[in-house]
Structure 1
Amino acid sequence: MTNAMAQPKLGGSKFGSARLLLLLGPAFVAAIAYVDPGNVAANLTSGAKFGFLLVWVLVAANVMAMLIQYQSAKLGLVTGKSLPEILGERLRPLGRRAFWLQAELVAMATDLAEVIGGAIALNLLFHLPLPLGGLIVGLISMAMLAVQNRFGQRPFESVIVFLLLVITVGFLFGLVINPPNPADAAAGLLPRFEGSESVLLAASMLGATVMPHAIYLHSALARDRHRPLKLSPSGSDGHSAVEEFSPNLLRRLIKATRVDVVVALLLAGSVNIGMLLLAASTLRGVEGTDTIEGAHQAISHSLGPVVATVFGIGLLASGLASTSVGCYAGATVMSGLLKFKVPLLLRRVISLIPALVLLSIGVDPTWALVISQMALSFGIPFALIPLLRLTSDRKLMGEHRDGLPLRLAAILSTVLIVALNLVLIYLTLSGAE
């Protein structure tokens, strides 16, 4: 089934709540990037080491994420093209290939973290060896991508939304058993640090939240859902064109996209904040909680095996969903920048190899997650800065160009994100304590 066949009919003047619900979905797929195993590692470590100190970082990061993902989706809706496609048209051949190379390395680092996170979850739940767990995660993600290939975007979105709900229950269930002190949690909204390690963790949490592949992908998801490609009217030249919408309908779709982004990112942000609150109230001061395995064991001791099992299921769902979305994003970047498509399933096989090699040679999985997050930090400016420039371009965006308040907020967000990620890179490479 093609994407065009999978779309709800958008014609007509009515735009009620039922129709609005049909338009939700793309942002939920992009939101998976915000609850991946890298986030789990960063949030648990922050709560275990510093309690509620860095709650404000996650709140700020989530607000920035809403802004960025909305801009990405709006770009795809207004132009009918993904961010990689627009960059591919504007860059010279050498620059286009160089840009693709850095984006591909970021995609590989993303996939590495997701597969390793899923392997850790299978090890915690079923005591499977990490290499076998990584292979199983890869095979299941291949099945999920096959759904997208065979049935289109809507069923794939449904699978991802289901996994997001499993992630939410898995990571927030412990808060029901052991809720944090509201006053202590509220105190974490005051921006402050306690030494260089807290700065490093804050940058890592932000880097794990605002991920480049989600920025590239969301523009394509919004475009494919609402502006499916179709043959030109003549059909003789074999070219495709995006479906043109009336100005009123386009404005309504952008409004629906805002709702989609806000709801999806509120859910993802709640999961992240919930993980930190759980760690702060349960793991603070407990030895060995600087790894996911150690945190899982501490949760089991503190809250019981049922909570620990539900947490493990949430981690597994996180790995499965995020590795599928990451592979999808990598294919989007390649086709947009190089005009060259590799079948999703073949790409899944190729991108699985580095993770399986690292797991097979005995590399510490938590260390691999940390290094992958640092690698992602290098790619953030390459995605954010072009997005900001394009959505501010009146010639490209027309009446939907970012207004002055939105542009100023986007500039501030970009500066803060890039600066904190440079701090993360410096502190990681220098080994600062």
Structure 2
Amino acid sequence: MTAARPDRPSGTQPAQPQREHDRSAPVHPLDDVLPGEARVFEAAQESLAGRRRGARGLWPFLGPAFVAAVAYVDPGNFATNMAGGAQFGYLLLWVILMANLMGMVVQSMSAKLGIATGMNLPEVCRERFSRRTSVALWLQAEVIAMATDLAEFIGAAIGLNILFGIPLFPAALITSAAAFAILALQARGFRRLEAVIAAFIGVIVVAFAAQVFLADPDPAQVAQGFIPGFEGSESVLLAVGILGATVMPHVIYLHSALTQHRVVGASDEEKRRIFRFELVDVVIAMGIAGIVNMSMLVIAAAVFHENGLTEVGGDLAEVADQLGVHLGHHADILFGIALLASGLSSSSVGTLAGQVVMQGFIRRRIPLFLRRAITMAPALVIIAVGIDPSRALVLSQVALSFGIPFALIPLLLFCRDRSLMGSLVNRRATTVAAVVIAVLIIGLNAFLLEQTLL
């Protein structure tokens, strides 16, 4: 997504050559979707000019990665991490760490594409690929958007059920109303939406920090979990599930849009500086997401695995119930709050990503509220007909695995193209690392897909 490019303050230099006639230039199609704020633009210009340093210099650039990082702590992650800790204790902590490092590389490349080109990934695909290919990519991305919303919407509904005992269908309707309210924040500027998303992440962090304290895990065993290893084929399969859920295709599209017009560099040097700021944003946001995921597994290991409850994890309602039984102190409520915050924030972000996909691939937009209504319809149907919501969560993750190559491979191709990326083109080492990550993620998702469906 992009923040709008507000008129530059009097007396400042243009942020890019085209900006010399900003007042008469046409507005970018996404500007009215994600309006920006002039004060953020001014503060960013001061940071680039060296007049703001340290935390003050970084502040205008923080936000995009936090929005993208929501996908790394969505309800699907809750299920895989809890199952991993319940079945194998601390064994797979190293997998979460590795998965998070992979995510940092991919998300930083997506952010870099937006900074270097002024376009998001779907727009670059439309420019570089044929019309037929762009339409095909758009169609698969729309299916992925629905699968994404399915997992996140159901997760939020389960969270409401845990907290208030509301049946799933009414809980789903309440979730839809809350998501509409979150999306309405865009009318007041995208910075406010970023702040709300960051607050949701903060709620998740606090909830799991409290549960880790209550679970009181053994530090020595936690440390051993970072030593790579497996225990049988089942642990390998679960590790594949954790890795396969790492990179979500919709946030690969989204992150490039979040940075494409937020702060625009007038020169190669400014673009490099902007990217360095955004890289810090990625490291902080993804680092927090990684800590949250590790906390989930640690809690499950300490509470479930050590008490012989190795089958707990797949059903999130059962997870909450057992946490309340074994930890007390309203641990089930804390889990429900975290799950609700995850579902609401990730669902809203998924809707924004869907808008980027449609505008980018085929130059079409529909009102965000209409898109939200369309993408949440499958979740409402599934809940209404009584399909097991936890099973639906798993199947949605399988569907998402189909979409990863269609986002990740074009990103790799574009980021290594010097004619497109200019001074921000990938270094050879970065390209090699990214190719290894892509092959690993795609291969493991294919393996997970085979094991799930056969």
Interval containing the TM-score (normalised by the shorter chain): over 0.9
In the alignment, the residues of structure 2 paired with residue 280 and residue 418 of structure 1 have an alpha-carbon distance, to the nearest angstrom, of 28
CA deviation map 1:221-262 (0-9, x unaligned): 0113223xxxxxxxxxxxxxxxx5123321211110010000
Answering whether residue 296 of structure 2 is matched by residue 275 of structure 1, we say: yes
- Where 1:225 maps in the other structure, the secondary structure is coil
Conservation of the 8 A alpha-carbon contact between 2:118 and 2:260: yes
CA deviation map 1:323-345 (0-9, x unaligned): 00001001111110010001111
- Greater alpha carbon shift after TM alignment, 302-311 vs 383-392: 302-311
* Of 163, 169, 180, the match for 2:200: 163
Pairwise CA RMSD: 1.3
- Greater alpha carbon shift after TM alignment, 203-212 vs 321-330: 203-212
User: Which residue of 1 is the match for residue 245 of structure 2?
Assistant: 208
**Partner amino acid, structure 2, of 1:273:** M
Calculate the TM-score normalised by the size of structure 1.
0.93
User: Which residue of 1 is the match for residue 370 of structure 2?
Assistant: 346
User: Which residue of 1 is the match for residue 257 of structure 2?
Assistant: 220
Conservation of the 8 A alpha-carbon contact between 1:204 and 1:374: no
Alignment of 1:8-407 (within 5 A): 8-9=41-42, 10-12=44-46, 13-14=49-50, 15-17=52-54, 18-148=56-186, 150-227=187-264, 245-284=266-305, 285-286=308-309, 287-407=311-431
Judged with a 3 Å threshold, the aligned counterparts in structure 2 of structure 1 residues 182 and 305 are, in CA distance, closer, same or farther, namely closer
State the 1:190 CA deviation.
2.3
In the alignment, the residues of structure 1 paired with residue 146 and residue 127 of structure 2 have an alpha-carbon distance, to the nearest angstrom, of 24
State the 1:210 CA deviation.
1.0
In the alignment, the residues of structure 2 paired with residue 197 and residue 59 of structure 1 have an alpha-carbon distance, to the nearest angstrom, of 19
**Partner amino acid, structure 1, of 2:434:** A
In the alignment, the residues of structure 1 paired with residue 198 and residue 266 of structure 2 have an alpha-carbon distance, to the nearest angstrom, of 27
In the alignment, the residues of structure 2 paired with residue 26 and residue 422 of structure 1 have an alpha-carbon distance, to the nearest angstrom, of 29
**Partner amino acid, structure 1, of 2:67:** V
State the 1:208 CA deviation.
1.9
In the alignment, the residues of structure 1 paired with residue 172 and residue 435 of structure 2 have an alpha-carbon distance, to the nearest angstrom, of 39
Conservation of the 8 A alpha-carbon contact between 2:108 and 2:279: yes
- Where 2:261 maps in the other structure, the secondary structure is helix
- Greater alpha carbon shift after TM alignment, 56-65 vs 91-100: 91-100
**Partner amino acid, structure 1, of 2:300:** A
In the alignment, the residues of structure 2 paired with residue 208 and residue 141 of structure 1 have an alpha-carbon distance, to the nearest angstrom, of 23
In the alignment, the residues of structure 2 paired with residue 390 and residue 398 of structure 1 have an alpha-carbon distance, to the nearest angstrom, of 11
Residue correspondences, number = 412
- Where 1:224 maps in the other structure, the secondary structure is coil
**Partner amino acid, structure 1, of 2:210:** F
Conservation of the 8 A alpha-carbon contact between 1:52 and 1:185: yes
**Partner amino acid, structure 2, of 1:4:** R
Gap regions ≥5 residues in structure 2: 7-36
State the 1:185 CA deviation.
1.4
CA deviation map 1:40-98 (0-9, x unaligned): 01100110111111111100000000000000000000100000100011221221111
- Where 2:262 maps in the other structure, the secondary structure is helix
- Where 2:45 maps in the other structure, the secondary structure is coil
In the alignment, the residues of structure 2 paired with residue 289 and residue 264 of structure 1 have an alpha-carbon distance, to the nearest angstrom, of 26
- Where 1:209 maps in the other structure, the secondary structure is coil
- Where 1:189 maps in the other structure, the secondary structure is coil
State the 1:288 CA deviation.
4.1
Conservation of the 8 A alpha-carbon contact between 1:69 and 1:261: yes
- Greater alpha carbon shift after TM alignment, 333-342 vs 290-299: 290-299
Conservation of the 8 A alpha-carbon contact between 1:283 and 1:295: no
State the 1:305 CA deviation.
4.5
In the alignment, the residues of structure 2 paired with residue 172 and residue 374 of structure 1 have an alpha-carbon distance, to the nearest angstrom, of 30
- Where 1:342 maps in the other structure, the secondary structure is coil
In the alignment, the residues of structure 2 paired with residue 330 and residue 199 of structure 1 have an alpha-carbon distance, to the nearest angstrom, of 33
Conservation of the 8 A alpha-carbon contact between 2:204 and 2:341: yes
**Partner amino acid, structure 2, of 1:266:** G
In the alignment, the residues of structure 2 paired with residue 153 and residue 203 of structure 1 have an alpha-carbon distance, to the nearest angstrom, of 35
Conservation of the 8 A alpha-carbon contact between 1:82 and 1:216: yes
Q: Percent identity?
A: 48
**Partner amino acid, structure 2, of 1:8:** F
- Where 1:226 maps in the other structure, the secondary structure is coil
- Greater alpha carbon shift after TM alignment, 362-371 vs 280-289: 280-289
In the alignment, the residues of structure 2 paired with residue 132 and residue 301 of structure 1 have an alpha-carbon distance, to the nearest angstrom, of 26
Conservation of the 8 A alpha-carbon contact between 2:104 and 2:286: yes
In the alignment, the residues of structure 2 paired with residue 376 and residue 418 of structure 1 have an alpha-carbon distance, to the nearest angstrom, of 11
Conservation of the 8 A alpha-carbon contact between 2:304 and 2:312: no
Conservation of the 8 A alpha-carbon contact between 2:217 and 2:298: yes
Conservation of the 8 A alpha-carbon contact between 1:153 and 1:225: no
Conservation of the 8 A alpha-carbon contact between 1:35 and 1:272: yes
CA deviation map 1:391-429 (0-9, x unaligned): 111111112111111111111111111111111001111
**Partner amino acid, structure 1, of 2:290:** G
